Structure 1
């Protein structure tokens, strides 16, 4: 990593760090260009820092910063964050960059999680109960707009985005209200299973009317559902690059559906 560092006389103490702009003493990041110690980003729930590290980057364009609480003798495990890339990066010269500001990393102990560890912890231990009905018996709902999609084991990432996009007026108008399944098949090429327009038309005509959204028979948990299997083939056919994105990636599937099928 080619990193110009500013010789401004800054020497970082081995402990008792504090944000240069507020009273935060945890989740601090050391800017590796000028030696400024600033707090990290504020989380959606008000926890975390006060955004001073990223504000400093916007003011100076000094890109990399290392999370002080992750520095140990094992520098490969330190959390170095690149603001232009908005992601963690590897700094093979981190020892030299720390030494520039007088930091001896060998005795330092890890006190905080890295960005990757924090994301994993949130995904694993997050309490979803506030947005879910937990511990209660609920009655299934049926009718127009309430047809589910069958999870075939490899298409759950595609089902959720399809339900999202077909809840929007633009997709409903284009593929449901203003076009029938018969019309789509008549305009389709020789292989309609690989035609994006045909599949994006067929799917809402199965999902939205509610003809299949009826109380399920006993032991039949798929009576109120459609499948996205063929639609997935159509989206992938429309853009070969999307085939790789569709590998178990909900965010990629949503983006693909929007950019390839948006009216």
Structure 2
């Protein structure tokens, strides 16, 4: 079978959280470019509108839905609106989240709860709702969660983030076990260091360059490096893959381990 056929997402409806920038925006563009109709979800409406315009200009189909992933009522409205526009969501990408850079002894309870809520709780509740709707519609589907290389090896100052992302890896496995026989696959992507607008200044600093030299491939991840793994997990090409976390980090985990 040709690659263009097994990776084709025509007929699928994708929903991407955290789609206003960074990896989420790229994920949405890649899904749309390969045939999916995409719901773009984030809090920054102007960013979503701009992304939607880019997708449409490139020949894709998308809607922008402003929502906070921690707002359960907004979550339900987002799924409702997506279904009204395109039908049942069959590809859910849980990408929304937040990083932190506070040492454990200096971290407040509020900050701990914020990171765990954004990076782990939201993944569970959006996956739960997405899976419920897929099953109610009799639709097979794929859930793709964004984990992190820090789920496997930690650095100083990232305790809450690392714990949350390790939780995403285990949550992915747990959900896959319960949903596999019902036709819903659940997998995760664990990126290493990728250059985005949020971390660009840091990664270009002297400290960032030291980190880059420790990566076996000698560079940070860049635009396009996650396209293939996303399409694999979202499409029929990955039809027998579930419960997996695919690490895309230039060999960083090997070095950490």
What TM-score do you get using the length of structure 2 for normalisation?
Answer: 0.23
Which structure would you say has the larger RCO, counting Cα contacts within 8 Å and 6 or more residues apart?
2
Which structure has greater helix proportion? 2
Which structure has greater strand proportion? 2
What TM-score do you get using the length of structure 1 for normalisation?
Answer: 0.23
Greater Cα radius of gyration, structure 1 or 2: 1
